[in-house]
Amino acid sequence: MKLHYLPVLLFATLGLAIAADPQPVGKPVAAAPDYPLDAPAPSGRRPGGTLTQEFTPPPLHDEENKDIRRERNYPEQPPTIPHAIRGYQVDINGNKCLACHSRAASVQAQAPMISITHYTDREGQTLAAVAPRRYFCTQCHVPQQDVKPLVENGFKNIDVLLQHELPPGSNQQR
């Protein structure tokens, strides 16, 4: 027998063996779970539909670019960015935000200087330059878009709460 028939023969044998192999009988088929696999999506950020359904994404909006400072909801809130920041590079090579908001640049740009908290490390030690943990501005500061909020917000700021605390007619300063 010529040797080059050998692979063909081997394949044929293998094929027969596979074909002859009886199907495993009684293998447990996964029972349908008693919970819906395609659950309705939580309403709010993604209203309607089910989890696996795909929707056309909502249109993108421009960042608000009015350059007018917005009110903060509480004193510790990182102020939101009142201008567009498209293409601002913030990485190991440079920080575009600091080109205006750094201590030295804020004079010429008349931009608010980053606060003293940005110069302290987590132990409260003051550093010579912006602390690495404060370097990536958009971790806390973000631009805003003029859109309808996706979820309703019942937040009341402290001034409103204090108003309710005061007994009516009281002359106490808040």
Partner 1 sequence: MKALIAFLKRYWVVLRRPSVHYSLGTLTLGGFIAGIFFWGGFNTALEATNTEAFCISCHEMSSNVYVEIKDTIHYSNRSGVRATCPDCHVPHKWTDKIARKMQASKEVWGKIFGTISTRDKFLAMRRELAEHEWARLKANDSLECRNCHAFDYMDFTRQSPRAAQFHSTALANGEATCIDCHKGIAHRLPDMRGVPGW
Contacts with partner 1 by CB under 8 A lie at 65-67, 83-84, 86-87, 89, 92-96, 98-99, 105
In whole angstroms, give the CA distance from residue 132 to residue 102. Answer: 14
- The least CB distance from residue 152 to partner 1, in Å, is 31
| Contact in structure between 104 and 88 (CB atoms under 8 Å) | no
- Going by the DSSP 8-state scheme, the letter that residue 73 receives in this structure is S
Q: Given the complex with partner 1, which of 39 and 84 has the nearer CB atom?
A: 84
- The least CB distance from residue 98 to partner 1, in Å, is 8
Q: Given the complex with partner 1, which of 1 and 92 has the nearer CB atom?
A: 92
| Contact in structure between 78 and 141 (CB atoms under 8 Å) | yes
Q: Which residues, other chains included, contact 72 with Cβ-Cβ below 8 Å and sequence gap of 6+? A: 79
- The least CB distance from residue 47 to partner 1, in Å, is 28
- The least CB distance from residue 57 to partner 1, in Å, is 17
Stretch (H or E) spanning 94: strand 94-95
| Ranges of H-type helices in the chain | 6-20, 98-101, 105-109, 158-165
* Short-list 145, 141, 140, 142, CA closest to 66: 145
- The least CB distance from residue 108 to partner 1, in Å, is 9
Q: Given the complex with partner 1, which of 27 and 86 has the nearer CB atom?
A: 86
Q: Given the complex with partner 1, which of 66 and 156 has the nearer CB atom?
A: 66
Q: Given the complex with partner 1, which of 88 and 119 has the nearer CB atom?
A: 88
